[in-house]
């Protein structure tokens, strides 16, 4: 079952478009209006389940990444996985020599969070300006649909940036309770730089190591 098809919207639909489409379809499929259809209840429940996922930006992001509506990822669990991946890659890059890699991960996450916030703000500004242009433009329906599609795409990007920001915030709070008590060598400058997009994906081979 494709959740977007169930509700009747494209994958880049805005949250507002999803809400409107759901309400219209829920009104049409309500069992009380379809008493002669033995499958009315199951259709209505399927629609409600699809909306339950797509109305939540974090659940929607997870569905877009995995294609699965079940087993929605917990942002805290995702944050822990990101910390672990970054820590392993930092340590592996340095051939697992003793060092406080937690500090390095914290530094990287702070930079990534700042980038998330900046991107979300820029996308919000773009969406607002485009929405105003759309509201003040009268044109052919095909033209307007194309422009609306661009707005939905921008809003989807913004939702992704906000979801990433939430995970980075959680990761930084978790790191406050982590501690390294081993030896620390003279400091060296880390070359690690993550975008929030790569941080939220499975990153298994970012570095090429040259350990003995």
Q: Is residue 208 part of a domain?
A: no
Domain count of the fold of the chain: 2
CA 92 vs CA 144, 186, 196: distances in Å? 51, 17, 21
Residues 186 and 115 in one domain: yes
Residues 81 and 62 in one domain: no
Residues 173 and 195 in one domain: yes
Residues 192 and 91 in one domain: yes
Q: 60 is in which domain, residue-wise?
A: 3-66
Say which CATH number the domain at 45 has. 1.10.287.110
Residues 97 and 160 in one domain: yes
Residues 123 and 192 in one domain: yes
pTM over 0.75: no
pLDDT in tens, the chain (212 residues): 689 999 999 988 888 999 999 999 998 998 888 888 888 888 888 898 898 889 888 788 878 877 776 554 577 888 999 999 999 999 999 999 999 999 999 999 999 999 989 999 999 999 999 999 999 999 998 999 889 888 888 887 887 788 788 889 999 999 999 999 999 876 644 444 445 554 454 444 333 445 66
Residues 23 and 107 in one domain: no
Residues 94 and 187 in one domain: yes
């Amino acid at each position: 079952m494709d959740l977007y098809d169930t509700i009747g919207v494209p994958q880049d639909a805005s949250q507002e478009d999803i809400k409107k489409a759901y309400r219209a379809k829920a009104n049409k499929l309500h069992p009380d209006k379809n008493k002669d259809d033995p499958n009315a209840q199951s259709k209505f429940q399927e629609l409600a389940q699809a909306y339950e996922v797509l109305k939540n930006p974090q659940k929607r992001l997870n569905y877009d990444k995995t294609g699965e509506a079940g087993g929605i990822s917990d942002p805290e669990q995702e944050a822990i996985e990101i910390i672990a991946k970054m820590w392993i890659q930092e340590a592996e890059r340095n051939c697992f020599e003793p060092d406080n890699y937690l500090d390095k991960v914290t530094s990287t996450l702070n930079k990534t969070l700042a980038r998330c916030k900046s991107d979300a703000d820029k996308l919000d500004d773009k969406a607002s300006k485009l929405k105003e242009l759309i509201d003040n433009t009268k044109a052919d329906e095909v033209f307007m649909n194309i422009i609306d599609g661009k707005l939905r795409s921008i809003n989807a990007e913004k939702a992704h940036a906000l979801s990433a920001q939430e995970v980075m915030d959680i990761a930084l709070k978790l790191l406050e309770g982590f501690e390294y008590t081993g030896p620390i060598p003279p400091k060296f400058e880390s070359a690690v730089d993550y975008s929030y997009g790569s941080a939220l994906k499975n990153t298994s081979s970012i570095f090429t190591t040259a350990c003995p």
